[in-house]
Structure 1
Amino acid sequence: MTKRLVILGGGESGVGAALLAKQKGYDVFVSDGGSLKNNYRNDLEQAGIAFEEGMNTEEKILSADEVMKSPGIPEKNEIVRKIRKKGIPVISEIELAYRFKGNSRIIAITGSNGKTTTTALTYHICVKAGLEAALVGNIGYSFARQVAEDPKPLYVAEISSFQLDDIHEFRPDIAILTNITEDHLDRYDYKFENYIRSKFRIAMNQQESDQFIYCADDEITMRYINQFDIHSNQLPISMKTEVNKGAFIKDGDMYVRTGEEFTSMSVYDFALKGKHNQYNTMAACVAGATMDIRKEKIREAVQDFQSLEHRMEPVATIRGVEFINDSKATNVNSTWYALESMTKPTILVLGGVDKGNDYSLIKELVKEKVKAIICLGADNRKIHEAFGDIVNPIVNTGSAVESVHAAFHFAVKGDVVLLSPACASFDLFKNYEDRGNQFKQAVKDL
């Protein structure tokens, strides 16, 4: 009998899963409460996959043998509750992709911050070494679409906690947990521990032959790691202690050891600057070393890596004022890292949709480095409350253009205007890329 798979959500992961499931002989139905983007609608029509948009028809959904839930849909959603109540198994898109990956290997990266950079650098190391790999997950194509359309022997996947919530068998050969900070608490009943448990699920199914790379300097990771039954080979990274296996940085040099072999290189050769990027680079190098990639190749890749768009991306310098696009900073910790690396007086563009942010985390840095705050969001009260007593002026703006003009007005030669919003972008923009692109355009139009 054909298995009926219902997919909730018709975005990249939902449509990717639909295409793969259809190809593998499932009876597939896609349901999206909102409207589908044209390209996704076309994908489904071309593949002959039944779908609905603007509604979730209960009888069609609750007749499923299995449901794949898109990561953006919370557990408290009414239809999700009914699916759970009926006891229909729920999986995530990475679980479905994992079922059909064949003998391919997986390097999976999760964490609150740094995961996109670490994923991109790990992929770059693999490609430099001549491995045939694909970049999937939250960066690039969905994992399921890649497996359906262009399978590869190696997948480098960026994975969110939401995707890990609904895995059962998913097992990466190499798992990286960059760090854990308070993020997305709105999705975890505001219980930090629930979010922490989600992150550790990345190592849940790993076996002794697999590798688990984590940051030994991350307080929360270390506080919780012993509560989980981890069977894989643990490879910590640190700047504070010399670890026997994994990687550490001492006196400006990075040392990596995963087996008998030992590699070292100077942090001054890293293409990525800033302390947080030294952690990202260490994690990627350890992953590369466990794949038996030659150290010359790893060194080369780390030196010529191009940083990502919307992540501390230099836009332009206008009349001595430098503009930086860090639109990808969608939580307070990301903004903390951005501010920490600032060496000039900073005008900070902040705001958007707040996911339960605690701004006290950046208060000290703001006091030390920020001369003006430009709010870019529909509701900026919390920012005024957090920084009103230490920064003057704090100005409200309602568009990227307005924010850039206001920032430029307060800036003098030698200042930096930093877009590092600490918030999601959905109030005024399509997504963080759209926010970053509008910001860059506004700077270029000055």
Structure 2
Amino acid sequence: MNNEQGHNRHQFLAILGGGESGVGTAILGKKEGYTVFVSDKGKIAENYRQLLDEHEIEWEEENHSEERILTADLVMKSPGIPEDAPLVNLIRGKGIPVISEIEFASRFTNANIIGITGSNGKTTTTKFTHFILKNGGLKVGMAGNVGQSFARQVAETDVDHYVLELSSFQLDGIEEFCPHIAVLTNITPDHLDRYRHNFDNYIASKFRITMNQTEEDYFIYDADDEIITKWLRENPIRSQKLPFSLQKEVIPGAYIKDEQIIISLENTQITMPTSDLTLEGKHNAKNAMAAATVAQLLRIRKETIRESLSNFQGVEHRLEKVLKINNVQYINDSKATNVNATYYALESMDAETIWIVGGVDKGNNYAELLPLVNEKVKAIVCLGVNNEPILSAFGNCVDVIVETRSMEDAVKEAYKLAEKGDSVLLSPACASFDLFKNYEDRGRQFKEAVRNL
């Protein structure tokens, strides 16, 4: 992999964006002998400024020095910057390669890479996989959208395996990046604003995870997802396919039969009762199957895999049980930033639900939620600046809809509406930027408000 070494002495690496991935790339680039310059159109956070200064890396904020950036040999663009930003077009017009942090970092490690992508479930599956491999005694790092950036870990740690959570934006910037094991949890319309509202562009982005794979590599995917199976029929891939399914037996692959999870590869098979999974919901059975398939490929002991599946606690802000008050369960699913994630949440509710929903709508189609809302939701609390789409989607099927503008009010309203045995679910189906910094901030405010009831 380390084909870059030796070529980069005095090469000029310009980095757009001074956040986690930008600063990580800067630290790795400096270590590998590049001349590095970090440029951010906004402000760079204090902790990142300090890091850059400690490593004696030049940076600028609230400005892009275009002339200087256009002399770069290589540009790393942070995933938050759109592909067609004017400066990015200028750089490409000059023939300068523009890559993602994931692409850059992968050039400087010989570790085995497990890449996980999908519209939903990728954080849980990433953490799940990392948890099993760690329990199995492997030296394993976890990066991508979770924790420290991949580049920084490559610069500062030494591990044999990386589990990477990859967004479509990160995959858009790869050239040679090739995970030995790729996982695709599912594909549903999300971020279409970034893909010119063309769903096929978004699907193609996700499948870039397989683009450099060979027959020696593996692709683990949801065989129940029609979008994935259709794409695979029309666009053959080279890697070995390992499906997982709740609906049919797939061999080799993972499936459920008679309340047992069965993972069947080459000549080994693991079985365990579905009731042993700590995480509830059909989607979590799928996340568990994907993670266990990776573990089995890496020869983790069956016992370790079973134990890990029954001990894994899940992810903060993803169907996280907060408190029971007056026999009402409060659940934080702030990480549900699209309709499909909320679909899973509502599907896993077995009590009458007061649903807190709303935020920045990415052109959501709420129609697919109607049957679940009819069946499970007795009241809706809107939490957003513009609640019109929610009011018009659900006005006819829920008797009580309340509008609120702050988390504190939303939780108070939900508390008033809830009766013994009900659940209060925060599952916004939207981004959080109208009232909160991000979905973590939204989730923490929810938990705080619940504790203050």
State the 1:229 CA deviation. Answer: 3.9
Partner of 2:14: 6
Q: Which moved more, 1:80-89 or 1:37-46?
A: 80-89
Conserved 8 A contact 1:132-1:154 = yes
Matching of residues 192-231 of structure 1 within 5 Å: 192-231=199-238
Partner of 2:6: none
SS at match of 2:382: strand
Q: How many angstroms apart in 1 are the aligned matches of 2:67 and 2:380?
A: 51
In the alignment, structure 1 residue 156 sits paired with structure 2 residue 163 = yes
TM-score by length of 1: 0.98
SS at match of 2:219: strand
Q: How many angstroms apart in 1 are the aligned matches of 2:67 and 2:47?
A: 27
Q: Which moved more, 1:398-407 or 1:181-190?
A: 398-407
The structure 2 residue matched to 1:72, chosen from 61, 67, 80, is 80
- Segments of 5+ residues of structure 2 without an aligned counterpart are 1-8
SS at match of 1:222: helix
The structure 2 residue matched to 1:137, chosen from 128, 144, 165, is 144
Matching of residues 209-358 of structure 1 within 5 Å: 209-358=216-365
SS at match of 2:186: coil
Q: How many angstroms apart in 2 are the aligned matches of 1:289 and 1:393?
A: 48
Q: How many angstroms apart in 1 are the aligned matches of 2:244 and 2:220?
A: 7
SS at match of 2:56: coil
Q: How many angstroms apart in 2 are the aligned matches of 1:247 and 1:435?
A: 35
The structure 1 residue matched to 2:47, chosen from 35, 39, 42, is 39
Identity of aligned residues (%): 58
Q: How many angstroms apart in 2 are the aligned matches of 1:229 and 1:17?
A: 33
Give per-residue Cα distances to partners, 1:74-117, cap 9 Å, x unaligned.
1232212222222221100000110001x210111000011111
Q: How many angstroms apart in 2 are the aligned matches of 1:240 and 1:323?
A: 31
Q: How many angstroms apart in 2 are the aligned matches of 1:228 and 1:20?
A: 35
Give per-residue Cα distances to partners, 1:3-50, cap 9 Å, x unaligned.
111111111111111111111111111111111111111111111111
Conserved 8 A contact 1:353-1:424 = yes
SS at match of 1:97: helix
- After the TM superposition, list the runs of 4 or more consecutive aligned residues in structure 1 that deviate by more than 6 angstroms: none
Give per-residue Cα distances to partners, 1:415-443, cap 9 Å, x unaligned.
11100001111111111111100100000
The structure 2 residue matched to 1:397, chosen from 387, 396, 404, is 404
TM-score by length of 2: 0.96
SS at match of 2:18: coil
Conserved 8 A contact 1:33-1:55 = yes
State the 1:305 CA deviation. Answer: 0.8
Give per-residue Cα distances to partners, 1:193-218, cap 9 Å, x unaligned.
00000001111111111111011111
State the 1:226 CA deviation. Answer: 2.7
Partner of 2:4: none
Conserved 8 A contact 1:118-1:284 = yes
Partner of 2:67: 59
Q: How many angstroms apart in 2 are the aligned matches of 1:8 and 1:334?
A: 31
Conserved 8 A contact 1:4-1:27 = yes
The structure 1 residue matched to 2:132, chosen from 125, 129, 143, is 125
Q: How many angstroms apart in 1 are the aligned matches of 2:274 and 2:25?
A: 40
Q: How many angstroms apart in 2 are the aligned matches of 1:373 and 1:433?
A: 22
Give per-residue Cα distances to partners, 1:133-184, cap 9 Å, x unaligned.
1111111111111101113111011000000001001010110000100000
Partner of 2:23: 15
Q: CA RMSD in A?
A: 1.1
SS at match of 1:367: helix
SS at match of 1:36: coil
Q: Which moved more, 1:206-215 or 1:54-63?
A: 54-63
Partner of 1:439: 446
Q: How many angstroms apart in 2 are the aligned matches of 1:74 and 1:229?
A: 29
Q: How many angstroms apart in 2 are the aligned matches of 1:322 and 1:60?
A: 56
Q: Which amino acid aligns with 1:93?
A: E
Q: How many angstroms apart in 2 are the aligned matches of 1:84 and 1:189?
A: 19
Partner of 1:182: 189
State the 1:298 CA deviation. Answer: 0.6
The structure 1 residue matched to 2:57, chosen from 49, 54, 74, is 49
- Segments of 5+ residues of structure 1 without an aligned counterpart are none
Conserved 8 A contact 1:204-1:229 = no
State the 1:239 CA deviation. Answer: 1.6
SS at match of 2:105: helix
Q: Which amino acid aligns with 2:427?
A: S
